[in-house]
Structure 1
Amino acid sequence: MSVAEQLDLKPGQSLELLKELHILTRDGRINQDSRRKLKQVNHLVQFIEKVLHEVPESASGPTLADHGAGKSYLGFILYDLYFKALGKGHIYGIETRAELVEKSTALARKLGFDRMSFLAISAADASQAEALPAQIDVVTALHACDTATDDAIAFGLRKQAKFMVLVPCCQAEVAACLRQDKALALARTPLAELWRHPLHTRELGSQLTNVLRCLYLEAMGYQVTVTELVGWEHSLKNELIVARRTGQRKRSAAARLRAILAEFGLGGLEALRYPGLPD
């Protein structure tokens, strides 16, 4: 059995790229951590390829912004499997750590992936960056930590993204808010038992965060589907949110979002995380 068959690689997927990304060793071996990462990225690429096929054709091709890019595994593999053969389009990697941006820029140059750009900037500041076009077709975020996923959503809204493909990671902000007013909440409603214990606070905070994100996207004119990325044996951070822009803002979703914020004592987050909700 070949290495490609052992790793369940896609047709035409470059072994040399995987070695450059240190997913494979120079002799083609892979450890379990890298195997899990590669499986997650390849699965996500499948979802992203589907939405890229739905982007209207243009002379310049589709644009994609990847937030919290890290070492840009997702961007490089997506370019290798889709953008390279397409011959047009552009991938922008957004990452705060300058040393990773420098390494990704050098690797793209080495591989001849000349339609890849990397910015050492936060997701929150990316929407103002002059190096990025006024509109972006697809916004992705694979395990962008805590509020970086919210920043990616805000970026997508500002750039009128046709699609957003998000796999959230750790979510601490809502849990911190729940923790802060726990005693008052316990006196106010028996529902507070859902987050009385610290472990439940963290779990409920994560669940609420993603529910609120989905409602926000629906309220702002997106159709949302939620599924798992890969089997739970590969990753606990496994929720995949795919949003397609319809332009039809849903007041009912905005009303439900506000009701949930009020019920859980999170009203202060509306202006911070969910601006522009329809009345």
Structure 2
Amino acid sequence: MKDAQALDLKPGQSTELLKELHILTREGRINQDSRRKLKQVTHLYQFIEKLLVELPESPSGPTLADHGAGKSYLGFLLYDLYFRPRGTGHIYGIETRAELVERSRALAQRLGFERMSFLHLSAADAAGSSELPERIDVVTALHACDTATDDAIAFGLRKQARCMVLVPCCQAEVAACLRQTKALALARTPLSELWRHPLHTREMGSQLTNVLRCLYLEAMGYQVTVTELVGWEHSMKNELILARATAQRKRSAAERLRALLAEFGLQALEAERFPGLPQSAV
């Protein structure tokens, strides 16, 4: 069990769960890929734990929806370390691949994790699903690809989430829009040199996507912090967006978002991606 001990597990953490998730072998050993995965998820847990502790007390405990759950590493770890010891709260894992949903359901039943539900839904469909409560306290999306992160944000807004924890991945939509308008942009502004080359288009699109998301969250009444999840040597998809609900929407953030859309020729995205923006000041 030397490898398991070297992982510096938290008190009470289940090594049986780590074996079921194939992070540890039956002998308690771990390979380098699993070590990186566990490091990412454990580090993200530390951010989420702080948010959960800040939530108002409630008899039923906190609710958390994990979008793009995959094999539900994050959900199971959260349940094992936070929800299980407290005996309250519920985690909803939302995933589009039916085989992963069934596998997670079976594992939760085997481990006695009764307050976990796994739903075969997209993030977009989950917002209107009767299988979820009207309000969700915390929304997470770890490496949700492309517009799935936007769908998770829309879900969080509809569910009046107190907190959102997002690690975006593979943003392609804005880059595609930049490519479509590249010829016009090159003639209009020297800023378009930032995305003249295909590699720069992809990276610029990714960066701009997350900037727009942060402004949207601020415009919709969230305080936003952006930081790194782990060291870049562990993952290239490393941007962590933390959003806490406040009582105040920021009209200035909405105005800056619209200005950026106009500057980059992306006005068509507003209706689909940012439908809740406050109206422009007359």
Normalised by the length of structure 2, the TM-score is: 0.97
Amino acid at match of 1:227: T
Matched-pair contact (CA < 8 Å) for 2:2–2:29: no
Shift of the alpha carbon at 1:4? 3.6
Alignment-mate amino acid for residue 89 of structure 1: G
Deviation string 1:175-227 (CA, Å, 9 cap, x unpaired) is 01001111111111111100000000000000000000000000000000010
Counterpart of 2:227, as a letter, is: T
Contact map agreement 2:165 2:243 (CA 8 A) in 1: yes
Pairs within 5 Å for 1:66-85? 66-85=66-85
2:176 corresponds in structure 1 to 176
Single out whichever of 218-227 and 22-31 deviates more from structure 2: 22-31
Shift of 1:230: 0.7
Percent identical pairs in the alignment equals 83
Size of the aligned set, in residue pairs, is 279
Matches within 5 A, 1:1-279: 2-279=2-279
Moved more, 215-224 or 10-19: 10-19
SS of residue matched to 2:52: helix
CA distance in 1 between counterparts of 2:67 and 2:152 reads: 6
* Letter aligned with residue 183 of structure 1: A
Supply the AA of the counterpart residue of 2:122: S
Q: Deviation string for 1:99-158 (max 9, x for gaps)?
A: 100000000000000000000000011011101000000000000000001000000000
Gaps of 5+ in 2: none
| Corresponding residue SS for 1:11 | coil
Residue type at the aligned position of 1:146:
D
Deviation of 1:247 after TM superposition, in Å, equals 2.5
Q: Any unmatched runs of 5+ in structure 1?
A: none
Structure 1 residues 236-270: Cα deviation after superposition (integer angstroms, max 9, x where no partner): 11111100000210000000000000000100000
Q: Deviations over 1:36-86 (max 9, x none)?
A: 110000000010010000111111000000000000000001100000001
State the Cα RMSD in Å: 0.9
Specify the code of the residue in structure 1 equivalent to 2:52: L
Question: Structure 2 counterpart of 1:105, which letter?
Answer: R
- Structure 1 outlier segments of 4+, above 4 Å: none
Which amino acid counterpart does residue 17 of structure 1 have in structure 2? Answer: L
Is contact 1:220-1:247 (8 Å) kept? no
SS class of match (1:139): strand
SS of 2:69 mapped into structure 1: coil
Structure 1 letter corresponding to 2:236: L
Are the counterparts in 2 of residues 63 and 137 from structure 1 also a CA contact under 8 Å?
Answer: yes
